Amino acid sequence: MPIVNRVADLHGEIKKWRQDFHAHPELRYDVHRTAGAVAEKLKSFGCDEVIPGIGRTGVVGVIRGRKTGKKVIGMRADMDALPIEEETGLPYQSTIPGKMHACGHDGHTAMLLGAAKYLAETRNFVGTAVVIFQPAEEGGAGAFAMIKDGLISRFGIEEVYGMHNYPGVPLGDFAIRPGSMMAAADHIEIELEGKGAHAARPHLGIDTILVGAQIINQLQTIVSRNVDPLESGVVSICMFQAGQTDNVIPQYAKLRGTARSLKPEVRELLRRRIGEVVEGTARLYGASAKIKYSNGYPVLINHQRETAFAADIAREIVGKDRVDTDLTPVMGAEDFAFMLEERPGAFIFVGNGDSAGLHNPSYDFNDEAIPVGTSYWVRLAETALAG
């Protein structure tokens, strides 16, 4: 069965919701307008329960099937945008300066709303479908906040599924893999203290710019010389702040960056070696270093059975040639990983075609992916809850 007929009928309406979300982007937990619109729509569809305020601004909709059954599945979308100035020039471009839906969460929210509308209308399943709309996917761990607020236990969710659009994958195709699919993303913060001095008398100071530069270079040996070449790791220093002018050697410097991995052992290796390299290098030059290494999102690990199930649904919608089940893992991170630590499930990519990349000021979610993504959700619910 390809695109669900009723979903094809809803395409225009879902597209309008998407473009409205696009024009009104909100950041992190501050997604009040979006969450309000989501809750209002879920109520108007006749969901059995609509619960706002889970994980601060998350919204949950509960839809019970025609027949009562025990099984409960969760389907999740994210609602937040990014602090980026939009450069698309689209008619529905962001109306809020400095904020933009550059990761397609407007599309994710709209597609899951479309599925909720269909499921509440038809209820052609046994058990309960729970639609989850989370805030703060972009760095705020909104999924974790919803879990802490009882998302899983309160609604009795047994399996959980997520979807993200993906530029570069042909429009409407799917891509997935079992096991590790997206990276753990940890945060590195380094504070250096040397000895400030006149630029003409460097021998009387300890130059934190030189020490910081050496640290950045040394850190690049960790992936090339400590991580097994057949494993994956990234260490990127993305911020280096020191100095104010051209004739002072600065006393202090600050560096920040990210460490990414696909396996717990590599994650631990990165953490240990970053500490050793930073402290050792600073000591070599007589500077002192304070390092703060904090865990970000964990590795996103798709469960075997649920991944095979998700791939079957995807094949049902678009045909077997358009579903890649051996996707190369990506080093981006995604907080749906927290949900997959709680319950079995799977995260899938739906192709956004040849668009600008995620987080780029020219990016736009492709509305032509809506019938595919929404059909995936409704068939997934109807099949998982077939009774």
CB of 147 to Zn ion, least distance (A): 18
How near is the Cβ of 332 to Zn ion at its closest, in Å? Answer: 8
Q: Which stretch binds Zn ion (CB under 5 A): 14-22, 95-103, 242-250, 315-323?
A: 95-103
CA distance 374 to 22: 18
Buried b (16+ CB within 10 A) or exposed e, 214-230: bbbebbeebbeeebeee
Q: Which stretch binds Zn ion (CB under 5 A): 43-51, 97-105, 166-174, 309-317?
A: 97-105
Alpha carbons 380 and 383: distance in angstroms, whole number: 5
Nearest approach in angstroms of CB 300 to Zn ion is 12
Lookup: tokens for 89: 């020039």
Q: What character string, x for contact with Zn ion (CB under 5 A) and - otherwise, covers 296-335?
A: ----------------------------------------
How far, rounded to the nearest angstrom, does the alpha carbon of residue 209 sit from its chain's CA centroid? Answer: 34
The DSSP 8-state label assigned to residue 338 in this structure reads H
Nearest CA among 180, 342, 159, 207 for reference residue 261: 180
Per CB under 5 A, 157 contacts Zn ion: no
CB of 365 to Zn ion, least distance (A): 10
**Residue 101 or residue 177: which is nearer to Zn ion going by CB?**
101
Give how many residues touch Zn ion by CB under 5 A: 1
Q: Closest distance between Zn ion and the C-beta of residue 62, in Å?
A: 25
Distance CA(148)–CA(150), nearest Å, equals 5
- Pick from 368, 317, 365: which is nearest to 12 by CA? 368
**Which residue type is seen at 32?**
H
- CB-wise, 103 or 157, nearer to Zn ion? 103
Closest by alpha carbon to 100, among 81, 117, 87?
Answer: 81
Nearer to Zn ion (CB atom), residue 45 or residue 336: 336
Nearer Cβ to Zn ion (103/175) = 103
**SS3 for 310?**
helix
| Using rule CB under 5 A, residue 103 touches Zn ion | yes
**183 part of the interface to Zn ion, by CB under 5 A:** no
Beta carbon of residue 58, minimum distance to Zn ion (angstroms, whole number): 16
Tokens of 382: 């109807």
Applying CB under 5 A, the span of 12-20, 83-91, 96-104, 128-136 interacting with Zn ion comes to 96-104
Contacts with Zn ion by CB under 5 A lie at 103
